[in-house]
Amino acid sequence: MKATLPNALIALLTFSSYAYATEAAGAGDGGLLVSLFLGFFALIIVFQLVPATLMLVGILKGLFGRDREAVKTKG
Protein backbone atom coordinates (compact mmCIF):
# COMPACT_ATOMS: atom_id res chain seq x y z
CA MET A 1 0.00 0.00 0.00
CA LYS A 2 2.86 2.37 0.79
CA ALA A 3 4.52 1.65 -2.55
CA THR A 4 1.44 2.68 -4.51
CA LEU A 5 1.94 6.43 -4.17
CA PRO A 6 5.64 6.47 -5.18
CA ASN A 7 4.93 4.13 -8.09
CA ALA A 8 2.08 6.32 -9.26
CA LEU A 9 4.28 9.43 -9.10
CA ILE A 10 7.06 7.69 -11.03
CA ALA A 11 4.61 6.57 -13.70
CA LEU A 12 3.11 10.07 -13.91
CA LEU A 13 6.48 11.74 -14.33
CA THR A 14 7.66 9.13 -16.82
CA PHE A 15 4.67 9.39 -19.12
CA SER A 16 4.34 13.16 -18.86
CA SER A 17 7.84 13.68 -20.20
CA TYR A 18 6.57 12.85 -23.68
CA ALA A 19 4.07 15.67 -23.46
CA TYR A 20 6.79 18.11 -22.44
CA ALA A 21 8.98 16.98 -25.32
CA THR A 22 6.28 17.60 -27.93
CA GLU A 23 5.24 21.00 -26.58
CA ALA A 24 7.67 22.95 -28.76
CA ALA A 25 6.73 21.05 -31.91
CA GLY A 26 3.27 22.62 -32.09
CA ALA A 27 4.43 26.13 -31.21
CA GLY A 28 4.64 27.60 -34.67
CA ASP A 29 3.19 30.50 -36.59
CA GLY A 30 -0.49 29.92 -37.28
CA GLY A 31 -0.50 31.84 -40.50
CA LEU A 32 -2.86 34.27 -42.12
CA LEU A 33 -5.90 31.99 -42.23
CA VAL A 34 -5.81 31.36 -38.49
CA SER A 35 -5.63 35.10 -37.84
CA LEU A 36 -8.55 35.75 -40.17
CA PHE A 37 -10.55 32.96 -38.56
CA LEU A 38 -10.03 34.33 -35.06
CA GLY A 39 -10.65 37.91 -36.21
CA PHE A 40 -13.93 36.90 -37.85
CA PHE A 41 -15.26 35.40 -34.63
CA ALA A 42 -14.01 38.39 -32.64
CA LEU A 43 -16.05 40.64 -34.93
CA ILE A 44 -19.13 38.48 -34.40
CA ILE A 45 -18.79 38.86 -30.63
CA VAL A 46 -18.26 42.63 -30.87
CA PHE A 47 -21.27 43.08 -33.14
CA GLN A 48 -23.43 41.14 -30.68
CA LEU A 49 -22.30 43.33 -27.79
CA VAL A 50 -23.71 46.52 -29.37
CA PRO A 51 -27.40 45.44 -29.44
CA ALA A 52 -27.03 43.74 -26.06
CA THR A 53 -25.73 46.98 -24.54
CA LEU A 54 -28.56 49.00 -26.09
CA MET A 55 -31.12 46.53 -24.77
CA LEU A 56 -29.58 46.66 -21.29
CA VAL A 57 -29.76 50.47 -21.30
CA GLY A 58 -33.42 50.30 -22.37
CA ILE A 59 -34.25 47.82 -19.63
CA LEU A 60 -32.53 49.95 -17.01
CA LYS A 61 -34.37 53.07 -18.21
CA GLY A 62 -37.64 51.17 -18.00
CA LEU A 63 -36.94 49.94 -14.49
CA PHE A 64 -35.52 53.10 -12.96
CA GLY A 65 -37.04 55.83 -15.14
CA ARG A 66 -40.09 57.86 -14.24
CA ASP A 67 -43.48 56.75 -15.46
CA ARG A 68 -44.76 59.67 -17.58
CA GLU A 69 -48.46 58.90 -17.08
CA ALA A 70 -48.11 58.85 -13.31
CA VAL A 71 -46.44 62.25 -13.44
CA LYS A 72 -49.25 63.72 -15.64
CA THR A 73 -52.08 62.50 -13.42
CA LYS A 74 -50.55 63.95 -10.27
CA GLY A 75 -50.12 67.42 -11.70
| Measured CA angle at 35 (ends 31, 40), to 5 deg | 150
pLDDT at 3: 80
Confidence of residue 6 (pLDDT cuts 50, 70, 90): confident
Longest Cα separation, the chain: 86
pLDDT digits (tens, 9 = 90+) for 11-69: 777 776 555 555 555 556 678 888 999 999 999 999 999 999 999 999 999 998 877 66
DSSP string across 16-64: HHHHHHTTGGG-S---HHHHHHHHHHHHHHHHHHHHHHHHHHHHHHHHH
Give me the pLDDT at residue 67, please. Answer: 72
Indicate whether this model's pTM tops 0.85.
no
Q: What is the pLDDT at residue 66?
A: 78
